[in-house]
Amino acid sequence: MSSTMTVSKARAALPQILQRVLAGEEVTITRHGEPVAVVVRPDTLRARRATERLSDADRVRDLIARGRRAKLHRRPTLSEQQADELLADVQAARSSR
């Protein structure tokens, strides 16, 4: 269950908001009609964050798997001249330290 209230009402009703949140409710606080905060139980927030992280991990796992299945190019993508220029840039940067 969730409910919405303005900042001014929330300011006056903080103890009641906390009781509602402890009972499992989410309370959205608005300013000028726009949501600015949602008060939720800490365990609810942790669970949502964990779900997001798992989703991110699944995407990364899929990208890695696709990369492993992809065929490698037989020819180098850098010319010898480009490789020499990059190497010279790296060496110059290291020597300027």
Cα separation values, 75 from 15, 33, 71, Å: 68, 59, 12
Cα within 13 Å of Cα(10), Cβ side: 19
- What pLDDT is attached to residue 80? 86
Report the CATH number of the 2-40 domain.
3.40.1620.10
Q: How confident is the model at residue 90 (pLDDT cuts 50, 70, 90)?
A: very high
The reported pTM is: 0.55
- What pLDDT is attached to residue 76? 62
Comparing CA positions, the residue from 50, 48, 31 lying closest to residue 40 is 48
- What pLDDT is attached to residue 16? 96
Per-residue pLDDT of 4-60, as tens digits, reads 999 999 999 999 999 999 999 999 999 999 999 999 999 999 998 898 888 889 899
More confident residue, 68 or 23: 23
More confident residue, 20 or 92: 20
Q: Where are the domains of the chain?
A: 2-40, 44-95
**At residue 73, does pLDDT exceed 80?**
no
